[in-house]
Structure 1
């Protein structure tokens, strides 16, 4: 292994970080213009809706979210305050709790997908051919695997919502 990255690798890293930040900012702005809450809300609601019982422990929710969320407890508080999720005590471990998506949370997540999917198309889909998107996904998978993960989880997308 080389001690220093090549100029090309460093340039790729800088571009990756800048593009990721800019595209996320643009998506957040589009959601805000459409009257929706931040993308982290969608991300949390999506993960809760994917759970077989519609509920996860807070630590599981944090681990599964696409966007790093350093204040998961505050995010959960906001979702609960808005009636989009509820907390339930764990019957086995009284100190533990589950976060469960409500019907209002499911509805918001579905409505947000319309604006979110339009933003994905605007900032990614319209810029890449399908072949380029496949190539980019492969390159990103290689980078993800270099961070200690054996393999990144598969991504499956349907008409109403993305899924991993």
Structure 2
């Protein structure tokens, strides 16, 4: 007998799990009066980038936000002193976002809460095999869209 499979069950589970875990981690950061999760995400990507800077379009692709939303976040982070905008030396029309020492300090302060939140609100609910299967399965989706990012 063929097994009945809901074709959107995995998709719904990903969306719901992401939403609930992110909201819980956001609350953990807020409770400890640390930077918002969206700021942490931007600072994390900048900190990991070569020379700790990225073009705005590359930053938007890495943090999975619209260019408009990234631009607003960058403005907020710039006002807070956590990053600066600098001209791209390779393209005079482009701007780079660069993390500042204050931004690195804010990211470092939030990192333990962020990492503990991943464990508490996500990882502990899954076996190592389930985590591995999720990582490998979702990476296939990511890889499929790396070929043509317009998809």
TM-score band by shorter chain is: 0.7 to 0.9
Which residue, out of 23, 26, 29, partners 2:24? Answer: 26
- Return the alpha-carbon distance in structure 1 between the equivalents of residues 11 and 128 of structure 2: 23
SS of residue paired to 1:71: helix
Instruction: Note the 1:111-122 alignment, pairs <5 A.
Output: 111-122=109-120
TM score, norm. by length of structure 2: 0.83
Query: Which residue does 1:105 correspond to in 2?
Result: 103
* Shift >6 Å, 4+ stretches: none
Q: Tell me whether 1:149 sits opposite 2:146 in the alignment.
A: yes
Which has the larger helix fraction?
Answer: 2
Alpha-carbon deviations, 1:91-120, whole Å to 9, x = none? 454332211111011111111111000100
- Return the alpha-carbon distance in structure 2 between the equivalents of residues 62 and 38 of structure 1: 17
Query: Which residue does 1:157 correspond to in 2?
Result: none
Q: Residues 139 and 104 from structure 1, CA distance in 2 versus in 1: closer, same or farther, beyond 3 angstroms?
A: same
Q: CA RMSD in A?
A: 2.0
TM score, norm. by length of structure 1: 0.77
Instruction: Note the 1:1-164 alignment, pairs <5 A.
Output: 7-65=5-63, 67-69=64-66, 70-145=68-143, 147-149=144-146
Q: Which moved more, 1:88-97 or 1:127-136?
A: 88-97
- Tell me which of the two structures has the higher relative contact order, counting C-alpha pairs closer than 8 angstroms and 6 or more residues apart: 2
